[in-house]
Amino acid sequence: MSTTAPATPGGPAAGGAAPVQDVPHSGREFFQRIRQGEMGSIRVIILLAVIWTIFQVQESRFLSATNLTNLVLQITAVGLISVGVVLVLLLGEIDLSVGAVSGLCASIMAVLNVKHGWAPIPAVIAAILAGAAIGIFQGFISTKFGIPTFVVTLAGLLGWQGLQLKVLGETGTVNLQAGFITDLTSKFLSDGVGWIVGIVCVVLFALANVFGRQRRVRAGLTAPSTTLLAVKVGAVAIATFGAIWVVNQDRGVPYAALILIGFVAGFDFLTRRTRFGRHIYSVGGNAEASRRAGISVSRVRITVFMLASSMAAIGGIMAASRLLAVNQSSGGSDLLLNAIAGPVIAGTSLFGGRGSVWSALLGAMVIGSISNGMDLLALQSSVKFMVTGAVLLGAVIIDAAARQGRQAAGRA
């Protein structure tokens, strides 16, 4: 676990003076902050733009409305699992079982619904509760006996895969019936409703940022300038309305996109606006200091692993909804790699205490875009694995370099 201090955006203004604008004042400062791991969203957006440009040049269908809509559907499951992975990474820990947990919980849902006649919603709830129980179990074992989470979740990776095979039985494949579960990834908003939802989201985002800035100013903390705030809201509005316009050229805004963004926004609020969220960053930055400050480190860890496994279950349900079935390979292949690689690529530190839940969405977009583009180019699976691995390695190197840069700046 990392022993560095937790990263808290915007520290107190020195000497009780008026808050200083927390923005780069020069090009040199801008690039220095990026080098030190700050403003990670800008870095990943630039990377995403480069990836999209490369694939669009190679294949003109890449930026078509149909393919971009498909891309959203493809990244939903990975993005949801990555939300839980981000929480674990913020602790400076790792969960290697999320892929297996997603497959097991999806299997539980499918078997209860199809073979035992449960209604869809109770079957979904049972699957999510099973995921939560798995997370509590793994978090408790690791915390109680002081076993590294790498070892505990690696054992889970093997054990939950075996239980999945047991749950599915001899048939090995369970086909889902049309209804609530399959509608999660096959239904779309009408054009008008999509625009209304987009406008509401932008307004809520703007209000949240305005009120957040006011709270920071009243507390004497650094706060962004009104100009920067306007630029930020404007950029989000352009991106949101542009995305809605594009998908409306095809089938409309997918329900799956709303589910993904809703969970990302909810967990972002949890981590940044609640006491529990501050405890996560604190424990990830320095567990011993957090313990001395009165934080129940064990409870934070167990809760985080419970949330991570619950999100893995939800991601598995969405993957089953899209594929219309659950089988022995559900939760396998490169799902685990992608779920962990995405947030790391998007700036969540492997060393704990630094990152944002939005990195789950941005990282899923990067990983999904690479996979989607290579599929359109009909590249072999071997090439896909090597490219994805190279991107992950590059992200880890950047993360380590940024950490060294922060440490050097702290010593200066």
Q: Are 308 and 135 in contact (CB under 8 A)?
A: yes
Domain co-membership, 380 together with 283: yes
Question: pLDDT band at residue 409, thresholds of 50, 70 and 90?
Answer: low
DSSP letter string over 163-185?
A: HHHHHHTTT-EEEPPTTHHHHHH
Question: pLDDT band at residue 79, thresholds of 50, 70 and 90?
Answer: very high
Tokens of 69: 């809509």
Residue at which a domain ends, from 201, 219, 253: 253
Q: At 300, is the secondary structure helix, strand, or coil?
A: helix
DSSP letter string over 335-366?
A: HHHHHHHHHHHTT--TTSS---THHHHHHHHH
Tokens of 385: 């694995």
Inside any domain, residue 344 = yes
- pLDDT at residue 280, rounded to an integer: 96
Domain co-membership, 206 together with 179: no
Question: pLDDT band at residue 15, thresholds of 50, 70 and 90?
Answer: very low
Domain co-membership, 176 together with 93: yes
Q: At 377, is the secondary structure helix, strand, or coil?
A: coil
Inside any domain, residue 45 = no
Inside any domain, residue 226 = yes
pLDDT > 90: what percent of the chain?
A: 66
Question: pLDDT band at residue 206, thresholds of 50, 70 and 90?
Answer: very high
With 60 as the cut, is the pLDDT of residue 6 above it?
no
Inside any domain, residue 35 = no
How many domains is the chain partitioned into structurally? 2
Identity of residue 133: A
Domain co-membership, 179 together with 207: no
Domain co-membership, 214 together with 329: no
Tokens of 170: 């001899």
Domain co-membership, 249 together with 312: no
Inside any domain, residue 12 = no
- pLDDT at residue 351, rounded to an integer: 80
Domain co-membership, 246 together with 392: no
The residues, any chain, with a CB within 8 Å of residue 27's CB and separated by 6 or more, are none
Question: pLDDT band at residue 8, thresholds of 50, 70 and 90?
Answer: very low
Tokens of 20: 């200083």
Q: Are 116 and 356 in contact (CB under 8 A)?
A: no
With 70 as the cut, is the pLDDT of residue 10 above it?
no
Tokens of 238: 């352009």
- pLDDT at residue 25, rounded to an integer: 42
Lowest-pLDDT choice from 219-228, 236-245, 359-368: 219-228
With 90 as the cut, is the pLDDT of residue 113 above it?
yes
Residue at which a domain ends, from 253, 286, 309: 253
Tokens of 375: 């599929």
With 60 as the cut, is the pLDDT of residue 31 above it?
no
Count H helices, E strands: the chain? 16, 2
- pLDDT at residue 43, rounded to an integer: 79
Write the CATH number for 126: 1.10.3470
Measure the CA dihedral 231/76/278/29, to 10°: -40
Domain co-membership, 158 together with 247: no
The residues, any chain, with a CB within 8 Å of residue 207's CB and separated by 6 or more, are none
Residue-wise pLDDT tens digits, 325-370: 999 999 988 899 889 988 988 888 888 888 899 999 999 999 999 9
Give me the mean pLDDT over the 51-72 stretch.
Answer: 94
Domain hosting 282: range is 60-187+278-411
Q: Are 103 and 330 in contact (CB under 8 A)?
A: yes
With 80 as the cut, is the pLDDT of residue 161 above it?
yes
Domain co-membership, 388 together with 403: yes
Separation of alpha carbons 364 and 81, rounded Å: 10
With 70 as the cut, is the pLDDT of residue 227 above it?
yes
Domain co-membership, 172 together with 202: no
- pLDDT at residue 171, rounded to an integer: 80
With 60 as the cut, is the pLDDT of residue 5 above it?
no
Predicted structure pTM score: 0.87
Higher pLDDT, 260 or 228: 260
Antiparallel, parallel or unpaired: β 325-327 and 173-175:
antiparallel
- 325: which strand partners? 175
Residue-wise pLDDT tens digits, 396-408: 787 677 767 666 7
Domain co-membership, 161 together with 236: no
Residue located via tokens 């990392």: 2
What is the chain's mean pLDDT, rounded?
A: 87
The residues, any chain, with a CB within 8 Å of residue 329's CB and separated by 6 or more, are 103
With 60 as the cut, is the pLDDT of residue 313 above it?
yes
Q: Are 367 and 345 in contact (CB under 8 A)?
A: yes
Which residue in 334, 366, 329 sits closest to 348, CA to CA? 366
Inside any domain, residue 25 = no
Give me the mean pLDDT over the 124-152 stretch.
Answer: 96
Higher pLDDT, 43 or 218: 218
Give me the mean pLDDT over the 221-249 stretch.
Answer: 91
Lowest-pLDDT choice from 40-49, 66-75, 273-282, 310-319: 40-49
Q: Is 44 exposed, middle or buried (0-12, 13-18, 19+ CB in 10 A)?
A: buried
Q: Are 338 and 367 in contact (CB under 8 A)?
A: yes
Give me the mean pLDDT over the 290-318 stretch.
Answer: 96
Question: pLDDT band at residue 19, thresholds of 50, 70 and 90?
Answer: very low
Domain co-membership, 288 together with 153: yes
- pLDDT at residue 75, rounded to an integer: 95
Inside any domain, residue 7 = no
- pLDDT at residue 302, rounded to an integer: 97
Higher pLDDT, 318 or 412: 318
Inside any domain, residue 237 = yes
